[in-house]
Structure 1
Amino acid sequence: MKKLTIKKLKKDINRLWSWLFEKRSEIFEMNYKDAFMAQIVVEILQSSKTNNFNLIPLYNLRPIHPVDNRDNTIQATKKRIEILNIHKNKLLKNKKVTRNDLAKYLPSATYIRGVPINDKEFYIFDGNGRIEALKQTFCPSDNMKIEVDVYHPANLKRTLKNIEKLRKMHEMI
């Protein structure tokens, strides 16, 4: 049993390092809201006993923070939209963007990851920039579904409360 716990901890640490490495260009611009968000992400990763991939309607995905207005983020979003527009017809035909599509067209250190708000809606805690690019490429009537790695934190109620607090800090609610 102890081995399994250490193995999970190593996996969680690797995920955190991957996430931090991806955010390295933003590190000097981070503030207390970013620290609170990192705390939420670590809690989700550490307390989730299970996670599974689900196809979820694009417009049922809610960001936990706004997409930054930092230069590198704006440029990354524009580049993602350009790439998506090249492959838009193919993706529209399938009515979905799978994790393989995401890895091919919008590569990242992590999958798009979220937690359930209810049976239909999800907060995205990793991949908000990719979701923003997808929403700027596809409209609600396209009925696109996105493959999301859904986590189930041990104390979902507390996690949702913290996410809502973060969203208030960002004036999203």
Structure 2
Amino acid sequence: MMVTMMAMTSHVQASELEHATFAAGCFWCMEHPFDELPGVISTTSGYTGGHKDHPTYEEVSAGGTGHAESVDVLFDPKIISYQQLLSVYWRNSDPTTPNRQFCDVGTQYRPAIFYHNETQKKLAEASKHALEQNKPFAAPIVTEIVAAGRFWPAEEYHQNFYLKNPLRYKFYRYNCGRDQRLEQLWGEHK
């Protein structure tokens, strides 16, 4: 990924890139689906939506900062659209559980789309509305759509965790029931 990222950023001006920020439980599990997409320059695990500056993992996971574990996606909108990112987000989240995603419980694991501008807000709201009209499950959608605040990158050991610690990552993901629940909600997961 690093070689691809460097090659892509050398051809793209930083001003042409955009950010998308999503929360759907453990940030380890949200990097991988976006990293695979053409047009995604990078993903960063971190914290947003809270009130504490420079939060640590221990503080956020304890639930006292107001932040959600989230992933910031840097992307080239000429290659991949925000709508496509929204589609990947929905398929990798459980939009039916407030303050919980899979085995992770608390406001720090709430499902949320953090928009960076009015266009993203409108597109996120439209995608949520379309999902409400056509969802494959009966439960209501509780995913928040809120303005993005300051994003605080998580500690380095959290970044690209699925690549650095693949066995631990797979063990966690399986034992948390993430893929099993995603299949229940959305059908066979790709």
TM range (shorter): under 0.3
TM-score, structure 2 as length reference: 0.24
| Bigger fraction of residues in helix | 1
Bigger relative contact order (CA 8 A; separation at least 6): 1
